[in-house]
Amino acid sequence: QKEVEQNSGPLSVPEGAIASLNCTYSDRGSQSFFWYRQYSGKSPELIMFIYSNGDKEDGRFTAQLNKASQYVSLLIRDSQPSDSATYLCAAINTGTASKLTFGTGTRLQVTL
């Protein structure tokens, strides 16, 4: 079982719709969770982080965390073609390590 799992996609949504990206993790001791956006041929860019159960909103992005279910999600409202990218979920358990563990990423396609 991978430590951080994501559906590789592609997830296709029409412009203006809500994109919902999901991630599960196996280490119950993970405390912090991150979403990175990666355009093709580019490096990952941090877009959201969340530490507490519940929702965290930043502009069009909302991160959701449910530690009991070991589940993290990212919602993108009013999706734009420029949101088309791969979204990487990452987790860290600072009690056992100081490194982020990444999922394989979900490719999002926003269609016109």
Q: Which residue, among 88, 111, 108, 112, has the nearest Cα to 20 in the 3D structure? A: 108
Is 96 one of the binding residues for another protein (CB under 8 A)?
Answer: no
Is 22 one of the binding residues for another protein (CB under 8 A)?
Answer: no
Interface with another protein (CB under 8 A), residue from 13, 25, 34, 64: 34
Stretch that binds another protein, among 12-20, 39-47, 54-62, 74-82 (CB under 8 A): 39-47
Q: Which residue, among 43, 41, 38, 27, has the nearest Cα to 100 in the 3D structure? A: 27
Output the CA–CA distances (angstroms, integers) from residue 83 to 8, 57, 61, in the order listed: 16, 17, 11
Is 32 one of the binding residues for another protein (CB under 8 A)?
Answer: yes
Footprint on residues 56-75 left by another protein (CB under 8 A): none
Sites of contact with another protein (CB under 8 A): 4, 8, 32, 34, 36, 42-46, 49, 51, 88, 90, 92, 94, 97-105
